[in-house]
Structure 1
């Protein structure tokens, strides 16, 4: 199997998913024409035009006849062509501050992957004495390692990194008859996907839907979520999801043996292969550690000395998440690995390999969100939904947004799901006169779920390609975890959002 890279374009993993790819080329324009010529008296002319353009964009995001980033670019270009805004105003979203958070965090992740820092950490954790050779503990350890890495590296890259490690664990268990492992192979593979998804929810930079949700909440609701505030909600949620995943996977896919011979030797070989630390790994650790410290310090300082403290105010104003990511990534080009040869921690060729496609896609999503507000389309959608379903409370809206996001994400990429669902949810909440923050968080967190099918998420596709996961097992386990995950997201938001002031 060819492992996905950090530069993998979003949507590439679904390139062959939809049957009748040629038909989908015409489905988008047909949808746009249908919406345009249908009467919508409640919409302004600009809102009506935007609805037609977005109908085509949504169809293309679902069917993916062309790459998702190109759809986003063309969609915003047609908005300018239709007179919905100037090129300067529409394309300004591609330079939104959150875009630079993407760039910086992707550069840090690329440095970790290029120099094997993430693999070193994985082997280190798995060699802990408490793990031993017990399948139940190994399953939990794999989940912990995967989740931790995914807090800082994309879910796709994390799963691709951990897959050969997990396969190596299985391949080196020579003394265990196949029947004694039972369905443990399935559980171990699925833990990679579930662990990566759980970890991605823990930090604001863990996965693109988090950044999309945070940006749209700031843009349309005027609420800025700090790195620490997100972690105050995301980390407990990720911990709960991981523990539930461990319990469910061991229940449905247990090993039939209590010991796995050969594992200790394999882990020792992994550790020896990674010794000693290289200068590049040290440098990448310094840059990564700098980012984490600067992301956390402003929130911790405000929590201890108060939000009105002059230094707290200065840190909040001068150390936004985006700036920290850029500064930390910049260190990679200042820390040398071989000064005499002019070699640095990351070369521009390596830096150019980050996921530019998802950055473009995200910029397009922000542009559409801004236009929906400016034209009044989001307000009209919110009023229409409220008329259909009546008055809603913030927590019933949150539950609904989670369910919708989970259902959509089974067939649409999580990034596109967050881009489509979150603005609508915010509009509905604002029309209902309730805080849109919790419903929007429910939408972007729910978008990360979707475990039933190989095409639901890239991590699912990666573990399915291992050959150890039958489609029926993925479907059965995935649907159960979708349900449990949705419930856990709602409960966590219901409990923690009021505590951290996100209501």
Structure 2
């Protein structure tokens, strides 16, 4: 199969990575990687209960509830990092055990599943599903590629793919975005490879998947999705998890508009740095190209005009985003303390807006005579419900950490051991820890593990946890170094166009630069927006 001959089956295989957890049979792994994954999961399966039981037996002098919760949470973290069981199941198992061991009553523990943020997840996932099903996201991609001068240079194509994935990932699953755009990227790579062969830049029998421009395009796909996912609260699961934990600890909620205002400059700076790093470390073999414009024109012609389903999806999506940002606009005009802002923010809860927008997809008809609507329930049933379960579990443990006093105990112990006494070192600690964890486990689990640690550390030092916790939340979406770090990394690595050494070299460089940008820009933006004060 050539680079331009990517079938729908390839996309379906790639989309398997969009789930929170992927079994070994659902991944394209080398024999060495498969042995590593089997070993990691086997060790986790036995290590989790052993550590929990051993911790519960230690004479630590802690409050019984605190020690029990800490032991269970330790076992859950091992399950999350090792992925010995599906990540959502690890969380649910821990929730059941803390109730069995009497840490808190079941009704109190399960109250987090009624969180508004759970419904924000559900609504956003359903909207994203409609965009993918009806091809609206793909149409957006080809519209960007059709812009003047984009297709005339390899740099333009590389940057365009980064912009497309970043823009889509602000609202659509990072992994699904990359999986959807992979066939387009491979098709364009095939055009570039043929041009290089005709010009004699490469040998006649070269592998079109082993050229530097291919690595650059694929890495922009994977990394651009992670950067774009930071832009909105619904862009990536770690965002909503971190935001929920911050609200639980500080009582301050970050609105949709406030999040975008804070994250926007960070995403812009990170994208510029990303483009520089990817192109610099994977310098394209040729600069000027022809033929891309014709390829894009052919693809757009095949799609034709906007369908009724696409128009309906745009209506639902536009309505949802408008209602999400409306309270922020009112706050800018009338102020956060005004009656108008209080009135509208109380009514336009983000979770309820998301559910309303998603419901429109089941109300807007595509064929009224047949009573066919934009989405069917079976489409909604395909969304990643595991992430929603994991989010609820993470919020439950965050709440129990506070209510049992374990958070304060952890914070005091870490503070005494590391001597973290001000906001800057605590922020650096949170960012580095989140990046390290995200390289070895899912970004969602990274946020669920790291943010509950950073918050009590800050509180024990007498520091407002807002900045360190939000910085750790952003850093949890990293994981640029290895194919196993994120599903989108695995997808582009599985295409065969990116060597493992290339991904490691580029990923480490961007990890360092991205961490620096978060630590530098985030406190400035929080101060300018008046958050955390």
Shorter-chain TM-score bucket reads over 0.9
* 1:287 correspondence with 2:316: yes
- 2:389 corresponds to: 360
- Structure 1 counterpart of 2:298, from 256, 269, 273: 269
Query: Quick one: distance in 2 between partners of 1:87 and 1:253?
Result: 53
Matches within 5 A, 1:200-349: 200-349=229-378
- Do the aligned partners of residues 340 and 7 (structure 1) sit closer, same or farther apart at CA in structure 2, a change above 3 Å counting? farther
Secondary structure of 1:337's partner?
strand
* 1:66 correspondence with 2:109: no
- 1:388 corresponds to: 417
Cα pair 1:438 1:502 within 8 Å, conserved: no
- 1:192 corresponds to: 221
1:276 Cα deviation from its structure 2 partner: 1.4
Secondary structure of 1:341's partner?
coil
* 1:165 correspondence with 2:175: no
Normalising by structure 1, report the TM-score: 0.97
1:175 Cα deviation from its structure 2 partner: 2.4
- Do the aligned partners of residues 295 and 7 (structure 1) sit closer, same or farther apart at CA in structure 2, a change above 3 Å counting? farther
Matches within 5 A, 1:35-50: 35-41=55-61, 43-50=62-69
Query: Quick one: distance in 2 between partners of 1:257 and 1:283?
Result: 42
Secondary structure of 1:84's partner?
coil
Cα pair 2:18 2:176 within 8 Å, conserved: no
Q: Which runs of 5+ in 1 are unaligned?
A: none
* 1:479 correspondence with 2:515: no
Secondary structure of 1:18's partner?
helix
Query: Quick one: distance in 1 between partners of 2:326 and 2:372?
Result: 31
1:297 Cα deviation from its structure 2 partner: 1.3
- Do the aligned partners of residues 14 and 382 (structure 1) sit closer, same or farther apart at CA in structure 2, a change above 3 Å counting? farther
- Do the aligned partners of residues 13 and 455 (structure 1) sit closer, same or farther apart at CA in structure 2, a change above 3 Å counting? farther
Query: Quick one: distance in 1 between partners of 2:258 and 2:24?
Result: 34
Cα pair 1:176 1:261 within 8 Å, conserved: no
Cα pair 2:188 2:295 within 8 Å, conserved: yes
1:4 Cα deviation from its structure 2 partner: 4.0
1:273 Cα deviation from its structure 2 partner: 1.4
- 1:137 corresponds to: 156
Deviations 1:402-446 (A, max 9, x none): 011001111011111100110111111111111111101111110
Query: Quick one: distance in 2 between partners of 1:189 and 1:79?
Result: 43
- 1:11 corresponds to: 21
Q: What RMSD, in angstroms, separates the aligned Cα atoms of the two structures?
A: 1.6
Cα pair 2:116 2:350 within 8 Å, conserved: no
- 1:93 corresponds to: 112
- 1:432 corresponds to: 461
- Do the aligned partners of residues 334 and 88 (structure 1) sit closer, same or farther apart at CA in structure 2, a change above 3 Å counting? same
Secondary structure of 2:99's partner?
helix
- Structure 2 counterpart of 1:460, from 489, 504, 507: 489
Cα pair 1:7 1:356 within 8 Å, conserved: no
Cα pair 2:144 2:164 within 8 Å, conserved: yes
Cα pair 2:18 2:487 within 8 Å, conserved: no
Query: Quick one: distance in 1 between partners of 2:406 and 2:37?
Result: 29
- Do the aligned partners of residues 55 and 240 (structure 1) sit closer, same or farther apart at CA in structure 2, a change above 3 Å counting? same
Cα pair 1:395 1:494 within 8 Å, conserved: no
- Do the aligned partners of residues 284 and 299 (structure 1) sit closer, same or farther apart at CA in structure 2, a change above 3 Å counting? same
- 2:135 corresponds to: 116
Query: Quick one: distance in 2 between partners of 1:482 and 1:193?
Result: 13
* 1:127 correspondence with 2:146: yes
1:172 Cα deviation from its structure 2 partner: 2.4
Q: Which runs of 5+ in 2 are unaligned?
A: 1-9, 26-33, 203-207
Deviations 1:177-228 (A, max 9, x none): 2846951111110000111011000001100000001100111211100001
Query: Quick one: distance in 2 between partners of 1:203 and 1:8?
Result: 19
Query: Quick one: distance in 2 between partners of 1:320 and 1:431?
Result: 32
Which one is further off, 180-189 or 116-125? 180-189
Cα pair 1:6 1:157 within 8 Å, conserved: no
Query: Quick one: distance in 2 between partners of 1:39 and 1:445?
Result: 37
Normalising by structure 2, report the TM-score: 0.92
The alignment of Structure 1 onto Structure 2 pairs a total of residues equal to 502
Secondary structure of 2:151's partner?
coil
- Structure 1 counterpart of 2:527, from 478, 498, 501: 498
Secondary structure of 1:12's partner?
coil
